[in-house]
Structure 1
Amino acid sequence: MVSSPYYHCLTLSLLLVPPLIFGTYLLVAFPSPPETLSLHPSLASLPRHAKSWQIYPEDFYEGGSYVSFPQGRMRYWLLGPENGKKVVLIHGLSIPAIVWKDIAPRLVARGYRVLLYDLYGRGYSDAPETTYEPGLFTIQLALLMQHLNWDKASIVGSSMGGGIAAAFTAHFPHLVDEKVILIASAGLIENCDISRTAKFMSSPLVQSVASSMPFRKYLQRLTNTTSITGDDEVDPMIEIVRVQSAHLPGYNAALSSSLRDGPIRGQSAMFSSSGFEGKKVLLIHGTKDVTVHPKYAPRIIELLPDETKKSAKLVTIEDGGHEIVLTHAEIVTDEMIQFLEAKH
């Protein structure tokens, strides 16, 4: 009869060999090459008879061009005199650069050199299949300024663009001129202030459904039933959001990721960064903003470095909602110009 210790050794060997083999494999295995980044198309992919070309054609602004970066091709426009003081306008979560249609021309008329562009996942810029975290947007602007040979510029951000402006100032302060303007700025929104609908619609499960072809076909039928011609009740800004949602496969995922991972929330460290030292900051906020509550504007000021905080200015627009760049464009532009031209 075989002794009991033999059985113990055999059993132990049988238990140890598989983990040893698996562990050895993990140590010597070499990963597969990284997959090529998937890019979803922009509005440029839609036929010229599509509704988007009526509302927001790629030549909506003069001086438009495309440039390709590692995260995809993007669209930008340069307006105004070449020797004008440089200003960058960063749009928000869902509406691309068309949102600046009433402000950019006023700045140009004042002699400014204005840079507008579509963020990744919106308008005429590609939608990379990636996480839409703050770094994606800050690097996008840094590469664009390098491409244009812009050493510095005043930075203006609206809504989520304000969060991007804060992150950009924190990480690339040498590219930011003395002035930063934050309009209805996101960046500090708390979870309780994000609607249940937005949370539900940005969930991975719902996004999987929203990205499916049957659902997109349904949205396309809905958008094709409305006409922007001769119908004063149709808001072009709402329509361009609908068109992107229905026709651009990467748009809904970009919005969802931006809400969950982007510069909408959690930017306290950016606002308090040393990158804001030596900068002048103007905040403009509507008193009836239900998307980004007016309470966040003074909180942003409190986070700024001490010297910056002392000179920061908050302008409130009575009865102004979230889209004050559209509804109160003249007031907003006047405040911007007064701030940009002030001798501090």
Structure 2
Amino acid sequence: MIWLLFLGLLIAVIAAPFLLEHSRAVMSDGRRGSALGQFSELSQGVTHYHLSGPASGPLLVCVHGLTTPSFVWAPLTKGLVALGFRVLVYDLYGRGFSDRPEGLHDKTFFNRQLDNLLTHLELDERFHLIGYSMGGAIAAGFAATYPARVRRLVLLASAGMTVRNTPLVRFIRDRGIAGKWLMLAAFPTQMRNGTRAEQASQTILPEIIEGQEAQLMFQGFIPAVMSSLRGILAKPMEGEHMALRRIGLPVLAIWGAEDGVIPASAMGQLAAWNRDVTHEVVEDAGHGLPCTHSDAVLTLIKDFLPAPDSDDWGHDT
């Protein structure tokens, strides 16, 4: 009988993370009723987006990171719109109010979402592209794939230069269903610990932390993070950044001096791949610099991009 009890306990332990994931809330039209912005039914599912600023202003597209949806852009969006830019922010699949489609979240997957959204909105002009954290890897991948569509690229605390290669990440990335079990079991606690540590060390607004942690309530969020670890974040973006240098795309990289998520070596690695990148470091900033140091980041972006009312804003290389 003891072995039967042991077997039952083992089955319960194995099943628990999968059952918990299945019990989480499903992102639905009813849940989306409280969202600001609009929705588009695209080829891979519903995408939540918000387009603000003057219709005649130069378009600027913002891509968020691994775990924080598009609300992370709120402080910067306000300033960019005030400068005269037309700003598009959207929730990557698996996050925020967008759908949770299955499939590997690699460069092709994310390129398709942004390409579909721009097509749906009939935005066919060249635009500036800003990527934060994992969004930096996505933005670099999109710019390298569609160089004629991107005018200038801004990378904020960008991923894509190195790969997190701890034993835990390697197991999750490489071990199939066993890796998924560990991801479902361990990630919620790890994420909460990380967000609260960031809040303790930086002046991040409580609503940002609450919004991040609220993602854990919804079915499909944790698998989306895992799929990104196995996809867009599984290898360095060396080829993409070298391609951006060859085509001469202007690139600004902004780093937090106290960033505990992106290693300090990332700046040197990007410089080795593309020596034409302009690098700026925001002192006392951690990984959450779009929220904690939005004024400093806005100033750097303003200095890098042609002014919306200048004669050359639509004509740079």
TM class, shorter-chain normalised?
0.7 to 0.9
SS of the residue aligned with 1:272? helix
Say whether residues 1:268 and 2:238 are aligned partners: yes
Tell me how far apart the structure 2 counterparts of residues 124 and 42 of structure 1 sit (CA, whole Å). 10
> Residues 164-184 of structure 1: CA distance to partner in whole angstroms, max 9, x if unpaired?
01100110111111x110010
Give the counterpart of 2:291 among 320, 326, 335.
326
Say whether residues 1:162 and 2:136 are aligned partners: yes
Amino acid at match of 1:96: P
Give the counterpart of 2:269 among 299, 303, 319.
299
Give the counterpart of 1:106 among 67, 73, 79.
79
SS of the residue aligned with 1:102? helix
Amino acid at match of 2:136: G
Partner of 1:117: 90
C-alpha change, 1:41 and 1:119, in structure 2 (3 Å) is: farther
Tell me how far apart the structure 2 counterparts of residues 41 and 69 of structure 1 sit (CA, whole Å). 22
- Unaligned 5+ segments in structure 2 are 1-23, 193-202
After superposition, the CA RMSD in angstroms is 3.0
Tell me how far apart the structure 2 counterparts of residues 172 and 41 of structure 1 sit (CA, whole Å). 36
Tell me how far apart the structure 2 counterparts of residues 275 and 233 of structure 1 sit (CA, whole Å). 34
| Contact preservation (8 Å) 2:159, 2:262 | yes
| Contact preservation (8 Å) 1:42, 1:122 | no
* Identity between Structure 1 and Structure 2 (%): 31
Partner of 1:137: 110
Shift of 1:244: 1.6
C-alpha change, 1:79 and 1:233, in structure 2 (3 Å) is: closer
C-alpha change, 1:136 and 1:45, in structure 2 (3 Å) is: same
Partner of 2:12: none
Give the counterpart of 1:235 among 206, 211, 236.
206
| Contact preservation (8 Å) 2:204, 2:292 | no
Partner of 2:156: 183
Shift of 1:200: 5.6
Q: Which has the higher contact order (CA 8 A, sep 6+)?
A: 2
Tell me how far apart the structure 1 counterparts of residues 205 and 300 of structure 2 sit (CA, whole Å). 29
Shift of 1:274: 5.1
Say whether residues 1:172 and 2:142 are aligned partners: no
Shift of 1:243: 2.0
C-alpha change, 1:250 and 1:82, in structure 2 (3 Å) is: same
Amino acid at match of 1:68: E
Tell me how far apart the structure 2 counterparts of residues 45 and 207 of structure 1 sit (CA, whole Å). 28
Q: Runs of at least 4 residues of structure 1 off by over 6 A? A: none
| Contact preservation (8 Å) 1:152, 1:174 | yes
Tell me how far apart the structure 1 counterparts of residues 169 and 30 of structure 2 sit (CA, whole Å). 27
Say whether residues 1:68 and 2:48 are aligned partners: no
Tell me how far apart the structure 1 counterparts of residues 178 and 99 of structure 2 sit (CA, whole Å). 23
Partner of 1:149: 122
Computing the radius of gyration from Cα coordinates, the structure with the larger value is 1
- Unaligned 5+ segments in structure 1 are 1-39, 223-231
C-alpha change, 1:152 and 1:244, in structure 2 (3 Å) is: same
Tell me how far apart the structure 2 counterparts of residues 266 and 296 of structure 1 sit (CA, whole Å). 10
> Residues 255-313 of structure 1: CA distance to partner in whole angstroms, max 9, x if unpaired?
01111222463211111115761311100001111211122123213212xxxx33x21
Tell me how far apart the structure 1 counterparts of residues 270 and 255 of structure 2 sit (CA, whole Å). 12
Shift of 1:323: 1.0
> Residues 49-94 of structure 1: CA distance to partner in whole angstroms, max 9, x if unpaired?
xxxx8xxx411xxxx2211122111011111000001100110000
Partner of 1:91: 64
| Contact preservation (8 Å) 1:188, 1:264 | no
Normalised TM-score (structure 1): 0.71
> Residues 207-263 of structure 1: CA distance to partner in whole angstroms, max 9, x if unpaired?
347659xx99x99xx9xxxxxxxxx99832332232221x22111000011112224
Aligned pair count?
271
SS of the residue aligned with 1:273? helix
Amino acid at match of 2:305: L
Give the counterpart of 2:178 among 190, 201, 205.
205
Written as runs of structure 1 = structure 2, the 5 A alignment for 1:211-230 is none
